[in-house]
A and B are shown apart, each in its own frame.
Chain A
Amino acid sequence: MNDLEKTARKTVLPVISVMVIIWIALSVFSFSKTKKHHRPQTKNVIFGKETALKGKKIFQAYNCMDCHTIVGNGAYFAPDLTKIYKKTGPAWLKAFLGSPGSYPTKTMVKMQLKQLKKNNQTNISSLKKYLSKFEGAQKRIKYRSGTESLMPNLSFSPQQINALIAFLKYSSKLNTEGWPPKVKAKKTVIQRKRRELEKRSGLSVATGTKAANTSTPTNNSGGQSSPSAVAKGKKVAMKLGCTACHSTDGSKKIGPTWKGLYNSTVKLNNGKSVEANNAYLKQSILHPDAKIVKGFHKGKMPSFEGNISDEQLSNVIAYIKSLK
């Protein structure tokens, strides 16, 4: 080893020490409170009585990060969630997380908004105002309403949903220094590309409802109800988003299946049994928490009182009847 080499080697450690000091200084400055760089805290962000801290724990417990990404880190298998709250707002998220296997319909979002207003969780007075504030929700309703999503139909409790929304509200507040970059593309280019991709994915209709229609069974010929009432009922069920949680083919989703439900004996979680007649179905739609089916949970289904007309109600029941 010559002298130059020896001197060079001796400088390595001091240089590394300087770098460690720089590193520590940068780190301390990053996480101390400064006016310039705002740092939201999970313990201070609240949604529906739940903190974002609780939401973070749920987010980790379900290992959301190994499908989605958050602040760009994760599995790239599902959308980035950092700014999703800012895009879609709480009502859409509430509607979606209630049954993540499918995209919420307009009515579902509207009902959630009403509920939020009732609980003083929002001051947005109408759906129109909500959708103009949260463009992401508007786009999703316009293009995706009622269609199936790729997400597994995880069954979150209402508290968990609130906590997750609180966490997403928190992550939306993070100052990510301009990431992801703002969209500046021309509307015409976006539309053209969107249509092209939808065609490729087999979803050729802009609203998406027709695609969803074809995926439900056409088993609606039976029953005493008139065929037109059944057909109307099916349409209403689709529009309101009932089938996001209730399957029509006997499979288990978030709620009990509708197949073979009518006139069957339903076991409730209080040990009693009840016959699924018109009165029971009507009560379950308007006041879902009155009777809970065994194996399911309270507070998951929103009340449809005031969101469904009498005619629509009887048509939906006619549709349920037809599913044998």
Chain B
Amino acid sequence: MKIRYQTQKLAYRFFVSMLIIFALQVAFGLLLAVIQMDPDLLKGVLNFNVARAFHLNLGIVWLVTGFIGTILFIGPLLGEREVRPAWLAKFLLIAIWVVVAWTAATLPLAQKGIAGWLWNQPWLQQGKEYLEAGRISDILLLVGFSIFAYLTVHMFPKKMKKWNEMHWGLAIGVSGLAAMWVFSLWFSKNLDVQEYYRWFIVHYWVEGVWECIHISLIGFLLYKFFGADEKEVGLAVFWGVSLVVLTGLLGNAHHYFWIGTPAFWQFWGSLFSALEPLPMVFCIWHVYLDEKHGTKPLENKAAFYFLFGSAIFELVGAGVLGFTQTFAGTNVWEHGTWVTPAHGHMALFGTFGFLVIGAAYEAIRQIKGIGRFKDQLSKLSFGLLFVGMLGMVGSFALGGTKEIYIYRVLGLDWWSHAVRPAMSLSRVLLAIFGVLFTIGVIILIYDLMTLENREIEAEQDRFIQMEAPAQLGAWDKSMSAFEFGTWIAGVWFFGLIVTAGLFSFNLHSVRLGNPTIPYVSAIFGYSGIIIVTSIFAYRFLKAFEQRQKLLQMIQIPQNGNLKTIDLRDKVSSNGTNGSILDAYKKIDYGQAFILIDDQDLMHQHHRLHEVLGKKFVWEDVQNGPDLWKAKVGKLN
């Protein structure tokens, strides 16, 4: 596949930068895990708070850089025009690195207590979680975000009437990203006001405008990958974005339970943010539907792995885990403990990280002019990132549950000799899974940067001899809607157990000091979530692989060796509808037969669809005027 617009190539440099910043962020994450185990290690040299500020800020920057790369790549396709002006996009990348370098130079000033106060503003760094960078960085970032929004909207058709839902979703997303940043530009004298505005950025980004970008990008990529119906994708994007705004707007109230604001926020926050998973269920349902839409083998399976990862981690990390802690009655216990970062890590990296990595695979492939490529390395990396992240989630969640008991229930509130030793096992597990994750990142970067070495020659590809299976194993069969729903319900079942476990801290017996109920619920619930998520992902991708393999086999030209059913021959049994189904049943998976008739085959196509659903692939070979020919292939 070749790119259509020259300026799409600009995306490449953004993805390279993204990977460098991602690597740095993960390195700091690993360092934090080590400092967690030995707090004295770098004390005075690189204190925990500075390392954490790097971890958070680099995390935001690489995701935004990934968004920019993705939008520069698909924007021209959406708008059917080049990126204009191209120099501004090049300038934007330089600006990103200037801000990163400047912020990296100023964050360590926290160790000396220098914020650069002038006119009541902290110009150098400001010690607010997620927004640690100082005012100078903030202003530069606002300029950068505005350029990004301008470039994006400038790629779209001039007449807004021509915009479809994906244009709108992206436009709302990128301009909202810049608009929300304005709330970071002032110093609040009181803590409650500071926290009130801080969540305008953090919450309305990740549970608002970033989600709009996420939904639009996933929608567009699925549409491109599987030739899904544009109107249906548009419908999904419209309702996805609408649901995000409808639930997330008041859902932000879940951050205002305990910051010194009145109790009524507990009602609004509990109610609306419990609804926030709705668009996520909707999103993964569409991934399921659209994946079956494809009638040609996908050239880039790796990208789809990551897109799928994004949807499932969003559902589990943001949706289910977020749900467990969103009620005032559960939040009062887990707030301020390790249970929160279990949700935070999975939601942020999973939803947005997996998405931009998936986009990077497709963009880099096309920009480098690579066709198919061997995807073992990308799958290995995907697996390591997937398992590493789930392991980290488990470590945080179980450590956090213990922390609630020691710190909140028993009130043993000193760190060195009570809270820390209680969580020692979780710290070790966190580091181990952190290492797994890091290996995944190293493989990912190596794979993406040397993708051309793994290109499969087209000829070689065509002559792959695959044996058509007569029977399929249970894992290889396509997933029915019922099975899909059962898996999702399974994740929610264990999510509800975790929720019940967090609620159980309110029980009289637990408050008196018996942690059995919350401990058992947490162990059962979190392991359930992790196991079901993993098996579901394995099952889903296994069926996907099988379908791709069969599609590829059906595509191999057979030079007239295919069985033919002539529907003009109505006398013999050869010409009935039943015989088509018979033929379908008789052939092996990945094989095909030809239908011939002297009238349009539309009717036969519909009949077959009614009986077989998506378990066959239909290809029109000849469309009239005297003769109609179609190839029917058998899928899983």
Interface residues of A (CB under 8 A from B): 1, 5, 9, 12, 15-16, 19-20, 22-23, 26-27, 29-31, 36-37, 39-43, 53, 56-67, 69-80, 87, 136, 140, 143-144, 147-150, 152-154, 156, 160, 170-171, 174-181, 183-186, 189-190, 193-194, 197-198, 200-201, 203
B416 near A201 with CB under 8 A, answer yes
Max chain A C-beta neighbours (<10 A), residue from B192, B196, B333, B414: B414
A174 near B191 with CB under 8 A, answer yes
A150 near B258 with CB under 8 A, answer no
B110 near A62 with CB under 8 A, answer yes
A179 near B335 with CB under 8 A, answer yes
Identify A30's interface contact among B36, B49, B262, B420, CB under 8 A.
B262
A194 near B412 with CB under 8 A, answer yes
A42 near B412 with CB under 8 A, answer no
B127 near A67 with CB under 8 A, answer no
B52 near A56 with CB under 8 A, answer no
A63 near B414 with CB under 8 A, answer no
B249 near A16 with CB under 8 A, answer yes
Identify A184's interface contact among B198, B242, B261, B512, CB under 8 A.
B512
How far is the CB of B349 from the nearest CB of chain A, in Å?
18
B53 near A183 with CB under 8 A, answer no
A71 near B418 with CB under 8 A, answer no
> What are 20 contact pairs spanning A and B, CB under 8 A?
A9-B238, A29-B264, A30-B262, A57-B115, A58-B113, A65-B49, A65-B129, A66-B48, A66-B53, A72-B336, A73-B259, A76-B337, A156-B113, A179-B335, A184-B511, A185-B409, A185-B513, A198-B418, A201-B417, A201-B421
B36 near A77 with CB under 8 A, answer yes
Contacts of B260 in A (CB 8 A): 39, 71, 174-176
Q: Which of B32-51 contact A (CB under 8 A)?
A: 36, 39-40, 43-44, 47-50
Max chain B C-beta neighbours (<10 A), residue from A64, A73, A170, A200: A73
B265 near A26 with CB under 8 A, answer yes
B50 near A63 with CB under 8 A, answer yes
B253 near A26 with CB under 8 A, answer yes
How far is the CB of B517 from the nearest CB of chain A, in Å?
15
Identify B246's interface contact among A16, A39, A74, A144, CB under 8 A.
A16
Query: In the bound complex, what is the Cα–Cα distance between A35 and B265 (angstroms)?
Result: 18
Query: In the bound complex, what is the Cα–Cα distance between A190 and B249 (angstroms)?
Result: 42
A79 near B414 with CB under 8 A, answer yes
Identify A63's interface contact among B132, B231, B262, B332, CB under 8 A.
B132
Contacts of B249 in A (CB 8 A): 16, 19-20, 23
Query: In the bound complex, what is the Cα–Cα distance between A58 and B112 (angstroms)?
Result: 11
Q: Flag whether B103 is at the interface (Cβ < 8 A).
A: no
B122 near A57 with CB under 8 A, answer yes
Contacts of B252 in A (CB 8 A): 23
Q: Flag whether B583 is at the interface (Cβ < 8 A).
A: no
With A140-B414, A152-B44 given, is the CB distance from A64 to B49 under 8 Å? yes
Contacts of A149 in B (CB 8 A): 415-416
> Which residue of chain A lies nearest to B198 when distances are taken between CB atoms in the complex?
A73
Identify B413's interface contact among A22, A56, A79, A150, CB under 8 A.
A79
With A15-B246, A180-B408, A181-B332 given, is the CB distance from A63 to B415 under 8 Å? no
Max chain B C-beta neighbours (<10 A), residue from A22, A62, A186: A62
Contacts of B417 in A (CB 8 A): 143-144, 147, 197-198, 201, 203
A189 near B513 with CB under 8 A, answer yes
> Which residue of chain B lies nearest to A12 when distances are taken between CB atoms in the complex?
B242
B49 near A39 with CB under 8 A, answer no
Query: In the bound complex, what is the Cα–Cα distance between A175 and B264 (angstroms)?
Result: 13
A179 near B332 with CB under 8 A, answer yes
Identify B117's interface contact among A61, A63, A78, A154, CB under 8 A.
A61
Q: Which of B124-139 contact A (CB under 8 A)?
A: 125-129, 132
B91-118 vs A, Cβ < 8 Å mask (1 yes, 0 no): 0000000000000000000110111010
Q: Which of B209-260 contact A (CB under 8 A)?
A: 231, 235, 238, 242, 245-246, 249-250, 252-253, 256-260
> Which residue of chain B lies nearest to A54 when distances are taken between CB atoms in the complex?
B117
Contacts of A189 in B (CB 8 A): 410, 512-514
Contacts of A153 in B (CB 8 A): 44
How far is the CB of A14 from the nearest CB of chain B, in Å?
11
Identify A193's interface contact among B52, B258, B412, CB under 8 A.
B412
Interface residues of B (CB under 8 A from A): 36, 39-40, 43-44, 47-50, 52-53, 110-111, 113-115, 117, 122, 125-129, 132, 189-193, 195-196, 198, 231, 235, 238, 242, 245-246, 249-250, 252-253, 256-266, 268, 332-333, 335-338, 340-341, 403, 406, 408-422, 424, 511-514
A73 near B192 with CB under 8 A, answer no
The number of residue pairs between A and B whose CB atoms lie closer than 8 Å in the complex comes to 240
How far is the CB of B126 from the nearest CB of chain A, in Å?
5
How far is the CB of A170 from the nearest CB of chain B, in Å?
7
How far is the CB of B106 from the nearest CB of chain A, in Å?
11
A53 near B189 with CB under 8 A, answer yes
B246 near A42 with CB under 8 A, answer no
Ranked 9 nearest A-B pairs via Cβ = A189-B513, A72-B336, A183-B411, A66-B49, A63-B127, A63-B110, A179-B258, A61-B115, A174-B260
Contacts of A181 in B (CB 8 A): 332-333, 408, 511
> Which residue of chain B lies nearest to A194 when distances are taken between CB atoms in the complex?
B412
B332 near A197 with CB under 8 A, answer no
Query: In the bound complex, what is the Cα–Cα distance between A74 and B335 (angstroms)?
Result: 10
> Which residue of chain B lies nearest to A72 when distances are taken between CB atoms in the complex?
B336
Contacts of A186 in B (CB 8 A): 512-513
Max chain A C-beta neighbours (<10 A), residue from B49, B110, B245: B49
Contacts of A140 in B (CB 8 A): 414
Max chain B C-beta neighbours (<10 A), residue from A72, A80, A186: A72
With A76-B341, A176-B260, A185-B513 given, is the CB distance from A64 to B127 under 8 Å? yes
Query: In the bound complex, what is the Cα–Cα distance between A94 and B513 (angstroms)?
Result: 33
B53 near A71 with CB under 8 A, answer no
Identify B47's interface contact among A43, A60, A67, A177, CB under 8 A.
A67
Contacts of A79 in B (CB 8 A): 413-415, 419
A56 near B189 with CB under 8 A, answer yes
With A66-B132, A72-B336, A179-B332 given, is the CB distance from A59 to B127 under 8 Å? yes
Contacts of A42 in B (CB 8 A): 189-191
Identify B336's interface contact among A15, A69, A136, A177, CB under 8 A.
A69
Contacts of B245 in A (CB 8 A): 16
B128 near A185 with CB under 8 A, answer no
With A186-B512, A186-B513 given, is the CB distance from A150 to B39 under 8 Å? yes
B191 near A71 with CB under 8 A, answer yes
Query: In the bound complex, what is the Cα–Cα distance between A80 and B513 (angstroms)?
Result: 21
How far is the CB of A232 from the nearest CB of chain B, in Å?
28
Identify B129's interface contact among A66, A160, A175, CB under 8 A.
A66
How far is the CB of A210 from the nearest CB of chain B, in Å?
14
How far is the CB of A181 from the nearest CB of chain B, in Å?
6
Query: In the bound complex, what is the Cα–Cα distance between A21 and B44 (angstroms)?
Result: 49
Query: In the bound complex, what is the Cα–Cα distance between A179 and B113 (angstroms)?
Result: 29
A193 near B410 with CB under 8 A, answer yes
> Which residue of chain A lies nearest to B256 when distances are taken between CB atoms in the complex?
A30
Query: In the bound complex, what is the Cα–Cα distance between A156 and B47 (angstroms)?
Result: 16
B246 near A43 with CB under 8 A, answer no
How far is the CB of B424 from the nearest CB of chain A, in Å?
7
Contacts of B410 in A (CB 8 A): 183, 185, 189-190, 193-194
Query: In the bound complex, what is the Cα–Cα distance between A153 and B132 (angstroms)?
Result: 22
Identify A71's interface contact among B128, B195, B246, B411, CB under 8 A.
B195
How far is the CB of A25 from the nearest CB of chain B, in Å?
10
B191 near A60 with CB under 8 A, answer no
B406 near A193 with CB under 8 A, answer yes
A26 near B129 with CB under 8 A, answer no
How far is the CB of B114 from the nearest CB of chain A, in Å?
6
B413 near A179 with CB under 8 A, answer no
Contacts of A57 in B (CB 8 A): 115, 117, 122
With A64-B49, A176-B258, A183-B409 given, is the CB distance from A76 to B332 under 8 Å? no
Contacts of B40 in A (CB 8 A): 150
Beyond A30-B265, A156-B113, A185-B512, 17 additional pairs, beta carbon < 8 A: A41-B189, A42-B191, A60-B127, A66-B52, A67-B52, A72-B259, A72-B335, A75-B49, A80-B336, A87-B413, A144-B417, A150-B416, A174-B260, A183-B411, A189-B514, A190-B513, A193-B406
